[in-house]
Chain A
Amino acid sequence: MHEMGIVLHLAKTLDETAEENKLTKIGRVTLQVGEVSGIMTDLFTDAFDYFKKKHPMLTECKLELETIPGVTWCDNCHKTYETVKYGKTCPHCGSGETWLLQGNECIIKEIEAE
Protein backbone atom coordinates (compact mmCIF):
# COMPACT_ATOMS: atom_id res chain seq x y z
CA MET A 1 0.00 0.00 0.00
CA HIS A 2 3.04 2.29 -0.07
CA GLU A 3 2.34 3.60 -3.59
CA MET A 4 -1.39 4.11 -2.92
CA GLY A 5 -0.47 6.21 0.11
CA ILE A 6 1.70 8.43 -2.07
CA VAL A 7 -1.16 8.77 -4.61
CA LEU A 8 -3.44 9.99 -1.80
CA HIS A 9 -0.85 12.58 -0.77
CA LEU A 10 -0.44 13.65 -4.39
CA ALA A 11 -4.23 14.06 -4.77
CA LYS A 12 -4.40 16.17 -1.61
CA THR A 13 -1.61 18.48 -2.78
CA LEU A 14 -3.27 18.72 -6.24
CA ASP A 15 -6.62 19.58 -4.65
CA GLU A 16 -4.99 22.46 -2.81
CA THR A 17 -3.19 23.64 -5.95
CA ALA A 18 -6.51 23.55 -7.81
CA GLU A 19 -8.22 25.59 -5.12
CA GLU A 20 -5.46 28.21 -5.09
CA ASN A 21 -5.58 28.53 -8.88
CA LYS A 22 -9.36 28.11 -9.27
CA LEU A 23 -9.06 24.99 -11.43
CA THR A 24 -11.83 22.49 -12.02
CA LYS A 25 -10.14 19.81 -14.05
CA ILE A 26 -6.57 18.57 -14.27
CA GLY A 27 -5.67 17.00 -17.63
CA ARG A 28 -2.06 16.11 -16.99
CA VAL A 29 0.35 15.95 -14.09
CA THR A 30 4.09 15.58 -14.52
CA LEU A 31 6.02 14.11 -11.63
CA GLN A 32 9.76 13.89 -11.15
CA VAL A 33 10.57 10.69 -9.34
CA GLY A 34 14.02 9.98 -7.92
CA GLU A 35 15.65 6.69 -8.88
CA VAL A 36 16.17 5.76 -5.24
CA SER A 37 12.95 7.27 -3.84
CA GLY A 38 11.57 3.80 -3.15
CA ILE A 39 8.64 4.36 -5.51
CA MET A 40 7.85 1.52 -7.92
CA THR A 41 6.67 3.46 -10.96
CA ASP A 42 4.54 0.61 -12.43
CA LEU A 43 2.67 0.16 -9.17
CA PHE A 44 2.38 3.91 -8.75
CA THR A 45 0.80 4.30 -12.22
CA ASP A 46 -1.67 1.47 -11.48
CA ALA A 47 -2.60 3.01 -8.14
CA PHE A 48 -3.07 6.43 -9.75
CA ASP A 49 -5.27 5.02 -12.56
CA TYR A 50 -7.40 3.22 -9.98
CA PHE A 51 -7.75 6.26 -7.76
CA LYS A 52 -8.47 8.88 -10.44
CA LYS A 53 -11.78 7.23 -11.41
CA LYS A 54 -13.09 8.07 -7.94
CA HIS A 55 -11.76 11.62 -7.89
CA PRO A 56 -13.75 13.89 -10.27
CA MET A 57 -11.02 16.46 -10.78
CA LEU A 58 -8.55 13.80 -11.88
CA THR A 59 -10.79 11.45 -13.88
CA GLU A 60 -9.22 12.38 -17.20
CA CYS A 61 -5.78 13.16 -15.83
CA LYS A 62 -2.76 11.71 -17.61
CA LEU A 63 0.23 10.87 -15.44
CA GLU A 64 3.70 11.56 -16.81
CA LEU A 65 6.77 10.43 -14.92
CA GLU A 66 10.27 11.78 -15.33
CA THR A 67 13.24 10.15 -13.61
CA ILE A 68 15.72 12.03 -11.44
CA PRO A 69 18.94 9.99 -11.49
CA GLY A 70 20.49 9.01 -8.16
CA VAL A 71 23.82 10.81 -7.65
CA THR A 72 26.09 10.30 -4.64
CA TRP A 73 28.88 12.58 -3.41
CA CYS A 74 32.08 11.17 -1.89
CA ASP A 75 33.42 13.16 1.06
CA ASN A 76 36.81 11.49 0.77
CA CYS A 77 37.76 12.10 -2.88
CA HIS A 78 35.22 14.86 -3.63
CA LYS A 79 33.82 13.16 -6.71
CA THR A 80 30.30 12.09 -7.58
CA TYR A 81 29.04 8.75 -8.94
CA GLU A 82 25.89 6.87 -9.98
CA THR A 83 24.07 5.71 -6.85
CA VAL A 84 22.14 2.82 -8.38
CA LYS A 85 25.28 1.25 -9.87
CA TYR A 86 27.61 1.58 -6.89
CA GLY A 87 25.45 2.04 -3.80
CA LYS A 88 27.11 3.41 -0.65
CA THR A 89 30.74 2.69 -1.59
CA CYS A 90 32.60 5.18 -3.78
CA PRO A 91 33.86 3.49 -6.99
CA HIS A 92 36.73 6.03 -7.31
CA CYS A 93 38.40 5.54 -3.92
CA GLY A 94 36.44 2.82 -2.05
CA SER A 95 35.36 5.15 0.76
CA GLY A 96 32.05 4.70 2.56
CA GLU A 97 31.92 8.40 3.53
CA THR A 98 29.35 9.14 0.89
CA TRP A 99 26.11 11.14 0.77
CA LEU A 100 23.17 11.07 -1.57
CA LEU A 101 23.00 14.35 -3.51
CA GLN A 102 19.81 13.67 -5.42
CA GLY A 103 17.50 10.80 -6.29
CA ASN A 104 15.10 10.42 -3.35
CA GLU A 105 12.68 13.15 -4.45
CA CYS A 106 9.09 12.95 -5.61
CA ILE A 107 8.20 16.38 -7.00
CA ILE A 108 5.15 17.66 -8.83
CA LYS A 109 6.84 19.48 -11.69
CA GLU A 110 3.81 20.87 -13.51
CA ILE A 111 0.16 20.32 -14.24
CA GLU A 112 -2.02 21.08 -17.24
CA ALA A 113 -5.44 22.17 -16.14
CA GLU A 114 -8.50 24.29 -16.76
Chain B
Amino acid sequence: MKIINVGASVTASNDKDAALLREEMRARGQLMINLMSSPGSGKTTLLSRLIRDLSEVKIAVMEADIESAVDAERIEALGAKAIQVHTDGMCHMDAGMTRAAVEALDDDAAQLIFLENVGNLICPAEYDTGAGLNMMILSVPEGDDKPLKYPLMFEQSDALVISKTDALPYFAFDLEKCAERARKLNPQIRVFPVSAKTGEGMEDLEAWLLERLAAY
Protein backbone atom coordinates (compact mmCIF):
# COMPACT_ATOMS: atom_id res chain seq x y z
CA MET B 1 0.00 0.00 0.00
CA LYS B 2 1.22 3.47 -0.82
CA ILE B 3 -0.09 6.81 0.31
CA ILE B 4 -1.10 9.39 -2.27
CA ASN B 5 -1.81 12.98 -1.37
CA VAL B 6 -4.89 13.93 -3.36
CA GLY B 7 -5.77 17.38 -2.03
CA ALA B 8 -8.75 17.71 -4.36
CA SER B 9 -12.34 18.57 -3.65
CA VAL B 10 -14.72 15.61 -3.55
CA THR B 11 -16.43 17.14 -6.57
CA ALA B 12 -13.19 17.64 -8.58
CA SER B 13 -14.32 15.14 -11.20
CA ASN B 14 -17.67 16.92 -11.56
CA ASP B 15 -15.97 20.31 -11.94
CA LYS B 16 -13.88 18.93 -14.80
CA ASP B 17 -16.94 17.43 -16.55
CA ALA B 18 -18.81 20.72 -16.12
CA ALA B 19 -16.01 22.81 -17.64
CA LEU B 20 -15.86 20.49 -20.66
CA LEU B 21 -19.62 20.58 -21.23
CA ARG B 22 -19.61 24.39 -20.96
CA GLU B 23 -16.87 24.63 -23.56
CA GLU B 24 -18.64 22.30 -26.00
CA MET B 25 -21.91 24.20 -25.70
CA ARG B 26 -20.16 27.53 -26.14
CA ALA B 27 -18.57 26.21 -29.36
CA ARG B 28 -22.06 25.35 -30.62
CA GLY B 29 -23.29 28.82 -29.63
CA GLN B 30 -25.75 27.42 -27.10
CA LEU B 31 -26.24 29.24 -23.83
CA MET B 32 -27.43 26.96 -21.04
CA ILE B 33 -29.03 28.61 -18.05
CA ASN B 34 -29.21 26.69 -14.80
CA LEU B 35 -32.45 27.82 -13.17
CA MET B 36 -32.62 27.18 -9.43
CA SER B 37 -35.21 27.92 -6.76
CA SER B 38 -37.50 26.45 -4.12
CA PRO B 39 -40.45 24.31 -5.22
CA GLY B 40 -43.40 26.48 -6.16
CA SER B 41 -41.46 29.70 -6.80
CA GLY B 42 -42.82 29.89 -10.34
CA LYS B 43 -39.98 28.50 -12.46
CA THR B 44 -42.25 26.91 -15.05
CA THR B 45 -44.56 29.95 -15.13
CA LEU B 46 -41.58 32.25 -15.70
CA LEU B 47 -40.27 30.00 -18.47
CA SER B 48 -43.69 29.90 -20.12
CA ARG B 49 -43.71 33.69 -20.20
CA LEU B 50 -40.15 33.89 -21.57
CA ILE B 51 -40.98 31.40 -24.34
CA ARG B 52 -43.99 33.49 -25.38
CA ASP B 53 -42.18 36.86 -25.17
CA LEU B 54 -38.90 35.80 -26.79
CA SER B 55 -40.45 34.15 -29.82
CA GLU B 56 -37.47 35.20 -31.99
CA VAL B 57 -35.13 32.97 -29.94
CA LYS B 58 -35.10 29.19 -30.14
CA ILE B 59 -35.64 28.03 -26.56
CA ALA B 60 -35.51 24.49 -25.21
CA VAL B 61 -36.15 23.35 -21.67
CA MET B 62 -34.86 20.45 -19.59
CA GLU B 63 -37.10 19.91 -16.59
CA ALA B 64 -35.40 18.08 -13.74
CA ASP B 65 -37.66 16.66 -11.09
CA ILE B 66 -37.61 13.69 -8.78
CA GLU B 67 -40.88 12.43 -10.30
CA SER B 68 -43.62 13.21 -12.88
CA ALA B 69 -43.74 14.96 -16.25
CA VAL B 70 -46.22 17.76 -15.53
CA ASP B 71 -43.70 20.58 -16.06
CA ALA B 72 -42.44 19.32 -19.44
CA GLU B 73 -46.03 18.95 -20.63
CA ARG B 74 -46.75 22.59 -19.72
CA ILE B 75 -43.72 23.78 -21.70
CA GLU B 76 -44.43 21.61 -24.74
CA ALA B 77 -47.95 22.97 -24.90
CA LEU B 78 -46.30 26.33 -25.75
CA GLY B 79 -44.46 24.85 -28.70
CA ALA B 80 -40.96 24.80 -27.20
CA LYS B 81 -38.96 21.61 -27.15
CA ALA B 82 -38.90 20.13 -23.64
CA ILE B 83 -37.68 16.98 -22.00
CA GLN B 84 -38.34 15.70 -18.52
CA VAL B 85 -35.33 14.50 -16.54
CA HIS B 86 -35.86 12.28 -13.53
CA THR B 87 -33.14 12.42 -10.91
CA ASP B 88 -34.34 9.22 -9.21
CA GLY B 89 -34.45 10.74 -5.78
CA MET B 90 -31.29 12.82 -6.12
CA CYS B 91 -31.56 16.36 -4.74
CA HIS B 92 -29.63 18.12 -7.53
CA MET B 93 -28.35 17.89 -11.12
CA ASP B 94 -24.62 17.38 -11.67
CA ALA B 95 -22.56 17.77 -14.83
CA GLY B 96 -22.84 14.10 -15.85
CA MET B 97 -26.62 14.10 -15.53
CA THR B 98 -26.81 17.42 -17.37
CA ARG B 99 -24.71 16.10 -20.25
CA ALA B 100 -27.03 13.09 -20.56
CA ALA B 101 -30.01 15.48 -20.59
CA VAL B 102 -28.46 17.69 -23.30
CA GLU B 103 -27.83 14.58 -25.42
CA ALA B 104 -31.40 13.38 -24.89
CA LEU B 105 -32.73 16.82 -25.83
CA ASP B 106 -30.77 16.46 -29.08
CA ASP B 107 -31.50 19.94 -30.39
CA ASP B 108 -28.51 21.68 -31.96
CA ALA B 109 -30.76 24.49 -33.19
CA ALA B 110 -31.72 25.62 -29.68
CA GLN B 111 -29.97 28.86 -28.74
CA LEU B 112 -31.13 29.21 -25.17
CA ILE B 113 -31.42 26.02 -23.14
CA PHE B 114 -32.93 26.25 -19.69
CA LEU B 115 -32.08 23.57 -17.18
CA GLU B 116 -34.83 23.68 -14.59
CA ASN B 117 -32.97 22.24 -11.62
CA VAL B 118 -34.62 20.33 -8.76
CA GLY B 119 -36.66 22.66 -6.53
CA ASN B 120 -34.24 23.15 -3.65
CA LEU B 121 -32.20 26.18 -2.48
CA ILE B 122 -29.36 24.14 -1.03
CA CYS B 123 -27.79 21.23 -2.97
CA PRO B 124 -28.11 22.53 -6.56
CA ALA B 125 -25.84 25.44 -5.57
CA GLU B 126 -23.07 23.02 -4.67
CA TYR B 127 -22.73 21.32 -8.06
CA ASP B 128 -21.51 22.91 -11.27
CA THR B 129 -23.83 21.68 -14.04
CA GLY B 130 -21.79 23.10 -16.90
CA ALA B 131 -24.29 25.91 -17.49
CA GLY B 132 -23.08 29.26 -18.85
CA LEU B 133 -25.25 31.21 -16.43
CA ASN B 134 -26.78 30.48 -13.04
CA MET B 135 -30.11 32.13 -12.43
CA MET B 136 -32.18 31.80 -9.27
CA ILE B 137 -35.76 32.68 -8.50
CA LEU B 138 -37.05 33.80 -5.14
CA SER B 139 -40.78 34.37 -4.96
CA VAL B 140 -42.35 37.09 -2.84
CA PRO B 141 -44.29 34.66 -0.57
CA GLU B 142 -41.02 32.96 0.44
CA GLY B 143 -39.79 36.07 2.26
CA ASP B 144 -36.96 38.58 1.91
CA ASP B 145 -34.78 36.83 4.50
CA LYS B 146 -33.74 33.94 2.23
CA PRO B 147 -30.29 35.40 1.37
CA LEU B 148 -29.50 35.12 5.08
CA LYS B 149 -30.56 31.48 5.24
CA TYR B 150 -29.21 30.09 1.95
CA PRO B 151 -26.15 32.25 1.23
CA LEU B 152 -24.41 29.83 -1.16
CA MET B 153 -27.30 29.91 -3.64
CA PHE B 154 -27.09 33.72 -3.84
CA GLU B 155 -23.28 33.64 -4.08
CA GLN B 156 -23.39 31.22 -7.02
CA SER B 157 -26.09 33.01 -9.05
CA ASP B 158 -25.44 35.52 -11.84
CA ALA B 159 -29.02 36.75 -11.62
CA LEU B 160 -31.72 36.82 -8.96
CA VAL B 161 -35.27 36.95 -10.26
CA ILE B 162 -37.73 38.04 -7.57
CA SER B 163 -40.98 36.54 -8.84
CA LYS B 164 -44.67 37.08 -8.08
CA THR B 165 -44.26 40.83 -7.47
CA ASP B 166 -48.02 41.11 -8.12
CA ALA B 167 -48.37 39.57 -4.62
CA LEU B 168 -46.28 42.30 -2.92
CA PRO B 169 -49.35 44.08 -1.42
CA TYR B 170 -50.19 40.93 0.55
CA PHE B 171 -46.79 40.09 1.98
CA ALA B 172 -44.29 41.90 4.19
CA PHE B 173 -41.57 41.54 1.57
CA ASP B 174 -39.03 44.35 1.35
CA LEU B 175 -37.62 44.40 -2.22
CA GLU B 176 -34.83 46.82 -1.38
CA LYS B 177 -33.74 44.89 1.68
CA CYS B 178 -33.78 41.60 -0.20
CA ALA B 179 -31.68 43.02 -3.06
CA GLU B 180 -29.27 44.57 -0.57
CA ARG B 181 -28.86 41.26 1.27
CA ALA B 182 -28.22 39.45 -2.01
CA ARG B 183 -25.66 42.07 -3.14
CA LYS B 184 -23.84 41.82 0.16
CA LEU B 185 -23.24 38.13 -0.58
CA ASN B 186 -22.56 38.67 -4.28
CA PRO B 187 -21.81 42.24 -5.44
CA GLN B 188 -22.09 41.20 -9.13
CA ILE B 189 -25.57 39.67 -8.90
CA ARG B 190 -28.23 41.19 -11.18
CA VAL B 191 -31.62 41.59 -9.53
CA PHE B 192 -34.86 41.47 -11.57
CA PRO B 193 -38.19 41.88 -9.75
CA VAL B 194 -40.86 40.46 -12.08
CA SER B 195 -44.41 39.27 -12.30
CA ALA B 196 -44.81 36.62 -14.99
CA LYS B 197 -48.55 37.02 -14.49
CA THR B 198 -48.87 40.76 -15.24
CA GLY B 199 -45.63 41.08 -17.23
CA GLU B 200 -44.22 43.73 -14.90
CA GLY B 201 -40.39 43.79 -15.00
CA MET B 202 -40.17 41.11 -17.69
CA GLU B 203 -38.69 43.52 -20.26
CA ASP B 204 -35.53 44.15 -18.25
CA LEU B 205 -34.98 40.46 -17.65
CA GLU B 206 -35.57 39.63 -21.31
CA ALA B 207 -33.23 42.39 -22.50
CA TRP B 208 -30.52 41.07 -20.19
CA LEU B 209 -30.97 37.50 -21.44
CA LEU B 210 -30.75 38.61 -25.08
CA GLU B 211 -27.67 40.65 -24.29
CA ARG B 212 -25.98 37.68 -22.60
CA LEU B 213 -26.93 35.41 -25.49
CA ALA B 214 -25.47 37.85 -28.03
CA ALA B 215 -22.26 38.13 -26.02
CA TYR B 216 -21.90 34.37 -25.60
Task: Point out residues on A near B: beta carbons under 8 Å.
Answer: 1-2, 4-6, 9-10, 12-13, 15-17, 21, 23, 27, 31, 38, 88, 97, 104-114
Contact = CB atoms under 8 A, between A and B. Distances in A.
Question: What's the interface size class on B, roughly?
Answer: 20 to 34
Interface string B182-201: 00100000000000000000
B10 A10 contact: yes
B214 interface: no
A1 to B, nearest CB: 5
Contacts of B11: 9, 13, 106
Given A2-B91, A5-B90, A9-B94, A17 B4 contact: yes
Contacts of B6: 17, 108-111
B148 interface: yes
Interface of B: 1-14, 89-92, 94, 96, 122-123, 126-127, 148, 152, 184
B91 A108 contact: no
Contacts of B5: 109-110
Contact of A38 (B9, B14, B122, B148): B122
Contacts of A27: 1
A95 B77 CA distance: 51
B10 A13 contact: yes
B86 to A, nearest CB: 13
A107 B91 CA distance: 21
B2 A114 contact: yes
A13 B92 contact: no
